Structure 1
Amino acid sequence: MKNNTCSILVALACAGAALFSPAAMAAVHDISSVPTAITLTQGGSLTFGDKFKAGNKDNVFNDHFTFNVAQLSDLSLVLTSTSTSAANGLNLTGFGLYNSANSSLLQGTQMLTGKDDKWSLSFANLSAGSYYVKVSGNLVSGAGATFSGNGNLVSAVPEPATYGMLLGGLGLLGFLARRRQKPA
């Protein structure tokens, strides 16, 4: 019985030490902003990003940027962050495209990490609907930091005017070819 009591006391002492140690008390906070809507037009470009104030060292973020697609389109995005060194600024850890049901459609590709972070994401034949891009990361210093993204949304199906120009160009080529074949 004496051994069980000692074991329990030792276990409680270890648990209390771990619970109240400075490492256990250093909480990581998610400093994400409210989802931000991106204004996006077919055939247009888009920009998005976030700026973090100083004093957020070791905090994480998961920013959501929402947008709507009106018709079948191709989406291409690039996400960047530049710091004075790898020990300053922020570290981008994730970049993905999600639908309105919070299902992941595609995760971005990390191209650079360290002083400069760069991610890319391309999705062909994105159907009409509501979507968001999620940017995740953590702040590696107490200094302020920013990230920015830009991209394009282009229609995957040519517009009727494109077909008209194609037919007009083919008609002009046919007219010129026929004119050259006639003897003078």
Structure 2
Amino acid sequence: MKRTPTVVAALILAAATGLPSAWAADISQGVQTLDLSSGSAVLMHAFGAGNAGNTFSDRYNFTAGSTEMLGALVSSLDRLGLGGVSFDSFRLYDSGGLSIDGVRQSAPGATAEVWTLSSPHLVADNYYLLVSGTVRNAAAGNYVGSVAISPVPEPATYGMLLGGVGIVGWLARRRKR
């Protein structure tokens, strides 16, 4: 009998300290596979109304076929000051589990929350982006983002560029005389 007041007090304390994650539903979408054959793809998750406090952890798989550079971002607009989506993390993982963390670009209180991620040197492998966060209001909303990859120039390309700049400089100097 003495435990009942203790349990009730613990429940009241948990509710008062704001532990919504213990009660939050997981509204993650299934694993998405990105087609980066055109060099870019869109990341998106739309949330219906009534999801305030619910969490998500969305995975986007893709494959890098050769040595490539990657740039990615995710963003959520804070509509009418209601809160939108709060991102917990934005990460890139390779097949071995190594990760690169995204960086929050927006200031606290900004109308949009923006996270970016870049990697100058992806080798041929399977990768995935993981976007996780919490829905901050009961209104319908979403987050959107993009990922783009491009080949890393070969050393010969840099050599040709430097050679061309050198020739242009030599011609300009020769014309001056």
TM-score range, shorter chain: 0.7 to 0.9
Q: Which residue of 1 aligns with 2:104?
A: 110
Distance verdict in 2 for CA 1:107–1:33, change over 3 Å: same
Q: Which of 8, 13, 29 pairs up with 2:5?
A: 13
Runs of 5+ in structure 2 lacking a partner?
A: none
Q: Is the 8 A contact 1:97 1:107 kept in 2?
A: yes
| 1:114-125 correspondence runs (5 A) | 114=109, 115-125=111-121
CA distance in 2: counterparts of 1:159 and 1:153, whole angstroms: 19
RMSD: 3.4
Mark the CA change 1:11 to 1:111 in structure 2 (over 3 Å): closer, same or farther.
same
Give the match's secondary structure for 1:15: helix
- Structure 1 segments, 4+ long, off by >2 Å, are 9-13, 16-26, 85-88, 157-160
Query: What CA distance in whole angstroms lies between the structure 2 residues aligned with 1:10 and 1:116?
Result: 50
Q: TM-score normalised to the size of structure 2?
A: 0.76
1:55 partnered with 2:47:
no
Larger Rg: 1
Equivalent pairs: percent with the same residue?
29
Aligned pairs (5 A) from 1:31-180 = 31-41=27-37, 44-101=39-96, 103-112=97-106, 113-114=108-109, 115-158=111-154
What residue number does 1:5 align with? none
Aligned partners of 1:153, 1:15: CA distance in 2, in Å?
Answer: 53
Distance 2:155 2:149 in 1: 14
TM-score after normalising by structure 1: 0.74
Give yes or no for contact 1:96–1:104 (8 Å, CA) kept in 2.
Answer: no
The more displaced of 15-24 and 53-62 is 15-24
Q: How many residues align?
A: 165
Whether the 8 Å contact between 2:43 and 2:147 is mirrored in structure 1 is: no
* Displacement of 1:20: 8.2
- 1:54-91 Cα offsets, whole Å, 9 max, x none, are 11011011111110000011111121111224433211
- Distance (whole Å) between structure 2 residues aligned to residue 46 and residue 17 of structure 1: 50
What are the ranges of 5 or more consecutive residues in structure 1 without an aligned counterpart? 1-8
Q: Distance in 1 between matches of 2:46 and 2:14?
A: 29
